[in-house]
Structure 1
């Protein structure tokens, strides 16, 4: 699903009285806010969306990587990654409970 799909899905809801432009701005702003919160936090920073899930920023330890062609070892520095933990409500819905 793309942002455009989300905008169109919202517009198909008869209760929403907004232009496509306004809905698109809102969807983009929501993703901007989530991105800002993720990048402005420290390691182990969490963004919890009730009924949906939690985005967790995790620090990845440095490690030794290997070029598969040359077998040369190279240090991969520490970096941050994002994991997602599904919320209970979404998990139940996904499994038809």
Structure 2
């Protein structure tokens, strides 16, 4: 399911809301999540999971085509951990 599929599913479940309002709301939620994560905060949605930022250390990597070593700087990446109830819902 992608973003437009999610918007369509939400619209079909509640046709009282205009599709544009649903799309704007979803975009706002995504912007809030992104903003919080970029500021180094953890975002927890009870019953779903938590989003956080993890740090990847600086390292030496290889270019697979040339075999040449290159230095990769320290980077941050988003991390998602599913809640226990989400894991149970998927596995049952």
Aligned residues: 92
User: 1:76 is matched with which residue?
Assistant: 72
Q: SS where residue 71 of structure 1 aligns?
A: coil
Equivalences for 1:1-97 in 2 at 5 Å? 1-14=1-14, 17-41=16-40, 45-96=41-92
Structure 1: segments with no counterpart, 5+ residues = none
Residue 11 to residue 69, structure 1, CA distance change in 2 (3 Å): closer
Structure 2 residues without counterparts, runs of 5 or longer: none
Structure 1 stretches of 4+ with a deviation exceeding 4 A read none
Structure 1: how far apart are the matches of 2:91 and 2:67?
43
For the aligned residues, what is the CA RMSD? Answer: 1.3
How far apart, in 1, do the equivalents of 2:75 and 2:16 lie?
43
What SS class does the counterpart of residue 53 from structure 2 fall into?
A: strand
TM-score w.r.t. length of structure 1: 0.87
Q: Secondary structure at the match of 2:70?
A: strand
